[in-house]
Structure 1
Amino acid sequence: MEQNLLQEPILDPQRIIQLIPQKPPFVMVDSLFEYTALTGKTGFVIPADNILVEKGFFSEAGLIEHMAQSMSLHRGYQGYLSGLDKPKTGFIGAIKAIEIKTLPKVSTKLITNVIILKEVMGVTLVVAETRNENDEVIATSEMKTVTVE
């Protein structure tokens, strides 16, 4: 297993925003707990006023976007380590598989692990698993993300 390259978790929302191309109100990550070249562990406490909250629950689109932004945060920190001034823009190219077991309520703390399976010419195949604060798996996905210059 690779060593976590973070000296300490990144919990400052302003620092997180510097590492991802998304900007408020469309930010679905608020912490980076672990980083290796091929893995990352992110977090997000769902605010009541989040744009993807519906009737007190984080929507399916919110969970998908959270998983994609977890990958984006991993990439953003990688870029920071390599000296980039700002994060590269990316998007979901394809979702191969997704399973949403339950929609989390507002104020739930999400913890997401991302694992990069393969990367070719700016296209990354990644799996993500999102758990709640009770360590229950609430969503999994396998998606291709595309990074553009």
Structure 2
Amino acid sequence: MAENLLVQPITSKEEIIKLIPQKEPFVFVDTLYEYTNLTGITGFTIPKDQLLLDGEKLSESGVIEHMAQSMSLHRGYQGSLSGQTKPKTGFIGVIKTVEILALPKVGETLKTYVEILHEIMNVTSVSARTENERGEVIATSEMKTVTVE
């Protein structure tokens, strides 16, 4: 297993914003817990004013966006390690599979585990598993993201 390259988790909103191309109010990650070259663990505590709420819960679209931004945060940190001062823009190219087992409530903290499966040029195949604060898996996905220069 690869070693976590973070000395301590990144929890500063300002630092997280520097690592992803998304900006408020469309930010769906707030912590980077662990980072290796091929894996990462991110977090997100759902605010009551989040854009993609469905009542008191994060919508399916919000859960998918959180998983995609978890990959973006991994990429952004990787770029910062290699001296990039601005995160590259990317988007979801294909969602191969997504399974949402439960919708998290406002105030709940999510933890998402991302893994790069393979990468060809600017297309990255990634899997993600999101857990609630009780450690229950609430969503899984496999998607291809495309990075643009």
TM-score strictly above 0.5? yes
Matches within 5 A, 1:13-52: 13-52=13-52
Could you list the structure 1 runs, at least 4 aligned residues long, displaced by more than 3 angstroms after superposition: none
Per-residue displacement from partner, 1:29-48 (whole Å, max 9, x unpaired)?
Answer: 00000000000000000001
Q: Which amino acid aligns with 1:91?
A: F
In 2, Cα distance between equivalents of 1:122 and 1:136: 32
Corresponding residue number in structure 1 for 2:118: 118
Corresponding residue number in structure 1 for 2:104: 104
Q: Which amino acid aligns with 2:87?
A: P
In 2, Cα distance between equivalents of 1:126 and 1:85: 24
Unpaired segments ≥5 residues, structure 2: none
> Given the two structures, how large is their TM-score scaled by the length of structure 1?
0.99
3-state DSSP of counterpart to 2:68: helix
Unpaired segments ≥5 residues, structure 1: none
Percent identity of paired positions between Structure 1 and Structure 2: 66
Q: Which amino acid aligns with 2:50?
A: N
Q: Which amino acid aligns with 2:7?
A: Q
Corresponding residue number in structure 2 for 1:67: 67
Corresponding residue number in structure 2 for 1:77: 77
- Cα displacement (A) at 1:54: 1.6
Corresponding residue number in structure 1 for 2:11: 11
Number of matched pairs = 149
Q: Which amino acid aligns with 1:137?
A: V
Instruction: Please report the RMSD computed on the Cα atoms of aligned residues, expressed in angstroms.
Output: 0.3
